[in-house]
Every structure is written in C-alpha cells, then in structure tokens.
Amino acid sequence: MADTSPLKELLIECQDTQNQHGLLKTFYELYKNTDNDEFTSEFLSLIRHPMAVYTREPCVEKTIDFLSKAVTYVAAKDNKNQINKDPKTAEIDEQEDDEMHPLLSSLFNFLLDVNSAKERAIRFRVCQLVTHLLRDLGEGAQIDDELYDRIYRCMVQRLRDKCAQVRVHAVLALTRLQDPTETCPIIKAYMILMTKDPNMEVRRIVLTCIAPSTVSLPAILERTRDVKEAVRRSAYSVIAEKVPLRALTIQQRVDIIQSGLGDRSETVKTTCASKLLQSWLRACQGNALELLERLDVQSSVKVCHKALHQLFKTSGILDLVGNFDLIDSKQLIPEEKLSCESSFYWKSVVEYIQSQGHEYEEQLDSVRPNCIEFCTYVKKFSEQLRDCTDMEKSLDLEFIMEQLLQLLAMMDFTDNASRKATEKLLHNLLVSEYVGPSLVSAILPCLEKVHASTDLLINYLAETISEIREPITLVETKLTTEKQITLDKKIAGIRVKVNELRHELSDCIEKQDFERAARIKMSISELDAERSSLLEESQPAVEEVRTHKNDPLTVLKCLTIICELLISVNVKKWSPQLQGLMEDQILPGMINEEAELRNLAVKAIGLCCHIKKNMVMQHLPVLLQDPDLRCVAAEGLSKLILSGRVVSAKLLSHLLLMWFNPLLEDDENLGQILGSFFPLFSFSRSENQQLFEEAFLPTLKTLTRAPTSSPLSEINEVNVANFLIYMTDAQHLVENAKDNTIVKENPCHDSLAVKLCNEVLSHPDSFAVKLWIQALNQLKISPDNLSLHKDLMKMSEKIAMVVTEKPCLKLLEKFRGIVSCLMDAHTESEEEVAEAESAQNEAQSSEDAGKGLRFTSIMAVESVAIKLKLPTFWVTSPLAWFAQAEAQFALRNITQDETKYFHVLAALDTNTATRALSLLTAPPPSNKYGALKEFLISAFGLTDEERASTLLDLVGLGDYKPSELMNNMLSLLGSHTPCFLFKQIFMRQLPDQVRASLATSATSDYRALALEADKLFLAMNQHTASL
C-alpha cells in the first residue's frame, strides 16, 4: 500500500487525539473494507516502528495502547456480529467461538516470534503488547491451549531477560495466566523473582501481580522486610487488599504490624496504618476489641499499643469518645464486660486522650473515673485474684489487673483523699500473697505519684519489703497439761465453795441474819471473780509474732520491687535504706539456689552500680561472669582503643590475656571480637604496633609468674610470644602490605631485641630465659641497622657468659649466627657501593681519553655498578627458584662459583639461613654454590616418596584447568619419564563427560592431551551456564 495509507494516518492520529472510541470505529471500518491478508501485512509492518523505541515516550505509549485496544475491539465486534446472525447458524458459530480472531492471532504470533530479538526495545514492547492484549480481551475471554503454551514459554523466558524493564512487563503479561495452586509454574517463577531479583521494580511488580495462596504467602510476607522502601510499601498494600485476616496466624499478624509500624520509613508506616490496619478493622466489622483478640493482646502488648494509637489518630478524639460505649455512668466497665481486650482498650483510650494535652480535659473526664471510686473498683476486682484457682484464668486476671493499675497511674491525685485511698490500696496489694511479682512493675509508678519525694518512697518501700519478708501473724499459746490440771482443780474448788456459801446464804436469809448474809454474798462475789480470772488464764493466748519468709516467690517479689524501684525512680544518691536493702535482700539473693533469683540479684547489683560508682569494682568479677556483658565490655574497650580515645598498653595486655584464657574458649563471640580487633588495630598504624611492643614483656611475665592454680598457667607462652611478634612485624602494616615491598626497617622488633637481651642479662637465672631467647630468634631485625647489630652482638656475648643451660646456649648461638649474617650482608653491600663509586671516579678521570676508550670505560663502570639482586628464596619451590637464579647468572655472565654462592646466600631469609647455618659457617673449600644448592633442594624440596604420594592422592581438578593440573603433575615427576599409569591418574581427575570424550584419544603427547581436555572442559562449563 502507499506510504500515506489510511491505516498509517490512523496510527499517527492516535498519538494526539483523546477520542479513541471514534478511532476504533474507523479502524474497524478500515479492516472490514480491506483485504484481510493485505491489512494484516500492512498492520504488522507499521507496528514495528513503535516497537523499536525503548524510551517511554507519551506518543509511543499511546500508540501501543491503541494498537491493543484496536485489535481486541475488532475481535469483539466480529464475535458480536456472528452471534447476531441467523439462528440456524448459531450452533455452528458457537463451536467456532473457540477459534481466535485471525487478526488477533496474527498479532500474537508475530509478537511471540520476535520475543527473543537482540534489541531490548523490541523485547520490551513485545511483553508490553502481550500484557495489553491479555488485559483488553476482557474477563471472560478464552485462548486456545497452543497459544497459552506459546505465551507461557516466551514470557517465562523473558523473566530471565537481562533488561529489568523487560522482566517487569513479562511479569505483567503472565498475570492472567497464573493458577493459584501448589503446582503453578508461573507462581513458582514469580516467587524466585520476588526474592532474588536484584531490581527493585521487578520485585515490586511481582508482589502486586502474584496470586496469594498458601504457597506464595510466606514470600509475600517476607517482602515486608525488603531493603527497598517502595517494595515494603507495596507489600503492606498487597496484604491489606488481597490477603484476608483469617488466612494469617496470630504470630504473622503481630510480626506484620510490628515491622510496619516500626519501619524506619514514614511512608511505610503511613501505608501500614492507613491501609493495613483499616482493612483489618473493617474485617472485624469496626470492632477494635475483636481486632485486639485476633492479635492476642496478652502476648503482644507493645504491638497492640502501637496499633491502637494509629487507629486513634485516624479517628480523632471526639469520634473516639463518642464511640466509646464500654463504660457506665460512673465511667467504669461493668464486671461482666471486663476482659483483657476491654481493659487494655480502656487504658489505651485514657492514655491517648491524656497525651493530647489539657485542651481535651472534658473528654478525658468522660472516660476516666473518679479516683476513690476506681480504688474501690480495683479492690473488688483483686478479690477475684485471691479466690481464683484456675491457672489460665489467673493469667487473664493478672493481665486485667495490670491494665487497671496502669490506668490508676493516670488518675488525678491532687486531693489528699485520693492519695490516701490509692496508697492504702497499693500497700494491701503489695503485701498480699495473691499479688505476684508480675504486677510490681505496674504498682511502682502509682506509688511514685502518691509519694512527694524519692527519699520518702525509698523509706516506704524498704518498710514494705521488710513487712513482706517478716509479716505479723497471730499465734495461739496453749497451757501445759500440768498447769491446765492445776487450774481446773482450783476452779472446781472455787465452785464447791461457792455452792456451800450459797447454801449458807439461803439459811441466813431464812434466819434473817442479814449481816452475815451480806458477808457471805461478798465472799461469793470474790470467788466468782477469782473463777473468771482462772477461766481466762486457762484460755489459749493470742500473740502477734513476726515470721521470716524465705520461700522463692516471696524473695522474687522483694527483689522485683528493688529492681523496679531502681529502674523507674530517679535515684541519685546512695542512702542507708538502700544499703540495708543491699545487705539484707540483694547479697543473700546472690547465693540463692534458684537461678531466677540469682539473675535478679545480679540485675539489682548492676542497677546499684549506676548510683554508687565505687560498688562497680567490688562486684565487677560477678558482673563479668555474664558472657554477654563481658562481650559488650570487650567490644567497647576495643572500639575505644581502635578510635584512639584510650591509649594503654596495660589494657591491651589484659585483652590479650582474656583472649588466650582457656576458660573463655567456649565464648565464641568474645573470641571473634578480639580476634578481629587485634590485627585490625596492629596493622593500621606503626604507633599501634608500638603499643603491642610495650605490652610484650608485661603479658609474658604475667603468664610465666601465674600460679599453677590459675588458668593462665595452662597457656603456652611460646604461642603468645609468636603472636605478639607477628603483630609487631612492620611487614604486615597495611601501607606495606599493599605495595608488596620488603620492609628494611622493623623498629618494633629492633626495640624488642634490645629489651629481651636486657631482660636476660638482668635475670639470667630466671625460668623465662629460654622463652626470651626463643623470641629473639623469631624477630626480624632491620638489616641496615649496623649499630644495632653490633650492640646485639656485644649483648649476646655477655649473655653467653652468664647463661649456663645448654638449650639456652644453643638458642643463643643461633641468634648470634643470625646477627652475624646480617652484619656480613651489610658489609658486602657497603663494599659493592664503594666499588661502584671507585669505578665511577676512574671513569670520570679518564674523560679526556678517546671516544672508543671512553666508551669502553663507561661500559666497564656500568658493568661493575650493576648489582644483581635475586628474589627472596622460595621455600615452597626451590627448583623453580634455582632455575630463575641460574638464568640471571647466565644473562650477566656470572660464572665464578664463589660469586654465585654469595648471591644465593644474600637471597636467603632469616629462617632459611638459620637452617643452613652449619654450611654457611663452614663452607667447603670448592664448589660452594653446588653444595649450597644441593643442601637447599634436599632440605626444602619434595622427596621421591612425597612426590609419589602427592600424585596418588590427587582429588579432582579443584580450581585448576586440565592443562594446569598436567603442568603440576609433570613437575612432580621431575627427571622421571611418565609411565602408562601417569595418563590414567590424570584422566581420573577429569569430569566424567571430559574423560569419556578423551577415552578414544590416541595422542602420546601429554601436554596436547591436556590442551584438548581444556577445550572440552570449557565447552561443558558454557553448556552448564546456559542451562
């Protein structure tokens, strides 16, 4: 068709106009009036242009959207027209409904054919168009299985695309194809992307597209802790919109709220509060108490508190008070409505309104009861605690009681009557046996508000603790049996006398002897009084006695009161009352058999140390028994030393002793902290190494002087000395390790050498002399410090005169040999420099000679001045080192045996030279170089048995390529010729696929065989990577 075809004009027009409906009708008419194949060909040709644009230009986006809507509009319009045809053909048309519209099918096929294009723009637009087409087909649309499989395969392939934008739209394209079952491969691919894709937008899109199910739910919940804020925000939105509340366990609900409301991002907090919490509240029909029940308020108090405060912020105080219908006319919750949820909600409402300031005093008074009436209410409720025998119900009652006590702390205590009623209630609760330690933390804040000063509160609590530990009880004291019999006899005798006197009284009255009758009546009264006295004396006596209670529950309650006092109350000075509590309650708790009591006593001691600093040193050994506290203290001191705030060799020595202490070997955290600190601190600066040098002798002296009963006596002093020598080696400084240069100045080791020599000379009879001389041999003394070498040589001579033990003398002789080698090497270096300067002077004096002579002289000077410096001897590969050394000799025409000998000798390090000391001090008269070479190869090279064992013990390629392994195996053979077993050993190290391919190889060149194995090994790895 022409370039200015109607279809092209239509696609250009759709980029600007907003009237898409009219354009869709025009598109349909154009499709109907044009040959199907011709229209499809032109259509597919034109859509290539917007598909080649990667950037999200508005005109391109509009075109893509129009293309999708136009094709689906044509398909829907034709299907509708077919349905409206003659009823006779309706059944046939219904059978043909499953076949996709030809234009739609052509577009799908075209897109899926080019989905693997090289250009990312095409791959992106393919996924985008497939997404739009599946969306615009409508909810009830169907596609055949073949097309479904093609879309699935292509889009899953695009899920692994290197371009993040392509992966995003591939995820969107597969959204309608997923099946929320356990076997859905799309959901499994989504879960992998959601957890492992490095691009934030891909994870976010997958999160919004994945269908929630029992399989995908854990992965969705995990995204609430994603590193990116946008992903976390989307996670909470998805949970609010797609995951029903009943599908989550209580622990999952609590974790979600805790993570959301505690997130560091304000937008995530807002999303969690405005969407998730509101969604869950709607699921509970707006009933906050039901929401608290589903969150299990007893086990998640802090989370529920945050959630309620967020809900209160959303609703507003006036609506909050207006909808609060739990309380009666006295602002109290009726007993039948009082539960864990209602008491917590009541307390939270009062707390929230009170926190908003004085402007809401009226609303606060409408939900907060009168203090005196509330005290009566709490007292009545506390009786349920006393009478309850069910453990589960008892826990519920304690929780409700805790909420009521926290609500009591928010009362108005301005009048004296309220304070007295509250104090009486709290005192009865504290001393009662049915109120356990769990309620103490709620009682103390109320007492703090009731008492005017801290001192009065401390005095009151000290008396209360004494009353709890020694309560007053009534005790009946009964009379002894003998005394009771005596009293009974007296009472019986009095009764007999009274009866006799009454008989005489009646006789006197008959005789009208009234004077005598009066005397008898008086005697009867006296006897009755005496009998009453005796009867009272015979009754058991009731006395008030203080009994000392030492059961674990009582002690736990008292220690809890002390801890809560020190935590909640701002105690600034140490008082006699606190000293009394320390002596009577805390210190005895330290030796209690119950672990819980001991832990609480240690906590109390720690809190007391905050008030009285002198107490820290007294109880520090007890506190350091806690591994967590010990680790925190060690970490803090390490950071202070590392930052330069504390500079102390003594403290460093203590940390070293702690690290080597065998009793602390099981403390992995402490070992990791100190093990990371020591090298990090030592190798960062030379000044830090000087601190280790200062700590060297004090640390080792502490170990050598430790008594046998001390765990420090079990530490190997040699290991500690070697570790400190390693820490003070200047070669390991960061600035030197980066350059890989050999350090010629080692000031810490130079200083240690002098100190150790002086220590030996000061105490030659000490048991530590051998240790000091062993340490001397491990030091790497600066090779250019000739004055130090001379001083050390003189001091070693003095040591040889005062030390008598043979092992020490042997070690000393070894050290003298090392120093002597250093002095000789320094002397040779000076001689070479002097020779070079002399040659240069001679060349300068012959400057006026002819050009040829002058040239010859200069070349001679240069040949003398050039100094050969071999690399340090390779202990692990002596044969390779000698091969390189002999190559250097050949390049410089060095043929003299003695010259070779001295060059090799100069390249030996301290340990190697020490091992060859016998040959160095007494070399053979001839063939010195050959003898030294033979000795070093035999000392450090592998024997035939070791090489054979290494060959036979090979276990696969490891990190080598086959050719590298072959080189190593050939080097192990040395001068031996490979036998038929050699090839089999090599083949056994190769992967099965490579070995199978090489089985038919007839090559006898082992290196060629290894190169062929390299090619097969590379091809196998590439195939594995593509899979």
Q: pLDDT (tens digit, 9 = 90+) per residue, 882-904?
A: 887 888 888 777 888 888 888 88
- φ/ψ of 544, rounded to 5, equals -90, 120
- pLDDT tens digits for range 58-81: 888 889 888 888 888 888 888 777
Looking at residues 768-793, what average pLDDT do you find? 89
Q: pLDDT value at position 473?
A: 64
Tokens standing for residue 836:
């070079």
Is the pLDDT assigned to residue 699 strictly greater than 50?
yes
Mean pLDDT of 938-945: 72
Give the best-scoring range by mean pLDDT among 469-473, 769-773, 887-891, 995-999: 769-773
Q: What contacts 667, CB < 8 A, 6 or more positions away?
A: 627, 630, 631
Confidence of residue 755 (pLDDT cuts 50, 70, 90): very high
Report the 3 state secondary structure along 753-785: HHHHHHHHHHCCCCCCHHHHHHHHHHCCCCCCC
List Cβ neighbours of 67 (8 Å cut-off, separation of 6 or more).
11, 47, 50, 129, 132
* CA distance to 120, 231, 259, 263, per residue, from 255 (Å): 41, 17, 6, 12
The whole-number pLDDT of residue 853 equals 30
Which of 474-478, 922-926, 993-997 tops mean pLDDT? 922-926
Mean pLDDT of 331-335: 88
3: pLDDT confidence band, cut at 50, 70 and 90? low
Residues 6+ apart with CB under 8 A from 138: 72, 76
3-state secondary structure of 543: strand
Q: What is the pLDDT of residues 356-374, one digit of tens each?
A: 888 888 888 888 998 999 9
Q: What is the pLDDT of residue 691?
A: 92
pTM of the predicted model, to two decimals?
0.61
Q: What is the CA radius of gyration of the chain?
A: 49
The C-alpha atoms of residue 377 and residue 279 are separated, in whole angstroms, by 36
Q: What is the pLDDT of residue 1027?
A: 32
Q: Is the pLDDT of residue 403 over 50?
A: yes
Cβ contacts of 438 within 8 Å, gap of 6 or more: 398, 402
- Rounded to an integer, what distance in angstroms lies between the CA atom of residue 679 and that of residue 727? 7
969/478: higher pLDDT: 969
More confident residue, 763 or 82: 763
DSSP 53: -
What is the model's pLDDT at position 860? 37
Report pLDDT for 275.
93
Sorting pLDDT into bands at 50, 70 and 90, what band is 757? very high
**How does the average pLDDT of the chain come out, rounded?**
82
Mean pLDDT of 461-481: 75
Give 1019's pLDDT tier (boundaries 50, 70, 90): low
Of 493-497, 563-567, 658-662, 935-939, minimum mean pLDDT range: 935-939
Q: How far is CA 848 from CA 173, 700, 844, 853, in A?
A: 91, 67, 9, 10
Residue 756 has pLDDT above 90, yes or no: yes
Task: State the CB neighbour count (10 A cutoff) for residue 1006.
Answer: 17
Per-residue pLDDT at 846: 46
More confident residue, 1004 or 220: 220
Q: Please report where in the chains the tokens 């917007």 appear, as a residue.
A: 50
Backbone angles phi, psi at 974, to 5 degrees: 65, -125
Q: What pLDDT, on the 0 to 100 scale, is given for residue 84?
A: 65
Task: Say what the pLDDT of residue 832 is.
Answer: 55
Contacts of 360 (CB under 8 A, 6+ apart): 317, 353
Residue entry with tokens 């999952």 = 252
> Is the separation of the CB atoms in 540 and 476 below 8 Å?
yes
pLDDT value at residue 851? 37
Q: Is the pLDDT of residue 963 over 80?
A: no
Helix axes 391-408, 340-355, angle to 10 degrees: 20
pLDDT in tens, 270-322: 999 999 999 999 999 989 999 999 999 998 999 999 999 999 988 888 888 88
943 or 379, which is more confident? Answer: 379
Residue 245 has pLDDT above 50, yes or no: yes
| Residue keyed to tokens 């209602």 | 342
User: pLDDT: is 544 or 187 the higher one?
Assistant: 187
Q: What is the pLDDT of residues 828-873, one digit of tens each?
A: 655 555 555 555 555 454 444 443 333 333 333 333 334 577 878 8
Task: Give residue 737's pLDDT.
Answer: 67
Between 208 and 1002, whose confidence is greater?
A: 208
In the predicted structure, residue 969 carries a pLDDT above the cut 90: no
| d(C-alpha 87, C-alpha 29), whole Å | 25
Residues 522-531: what's their mean pLDDT?
83
**For the chain, percent of residues with pLDDT exceeding 70:** 87
At 535-573, the pLDDT tens digits run 777 776 556 566 777 788 888 889 888 888 888 888 878
Q: Higher confidence at residue 181 or residue 682? A: 682
Query: Which whole number is the average pLDDT over 405-423?
Result: 89
Cβ 720 vs Cβ 706: under 8 Å: no
pLDDT at 913 over 90: no
**pLDDT score at 1020:** 62
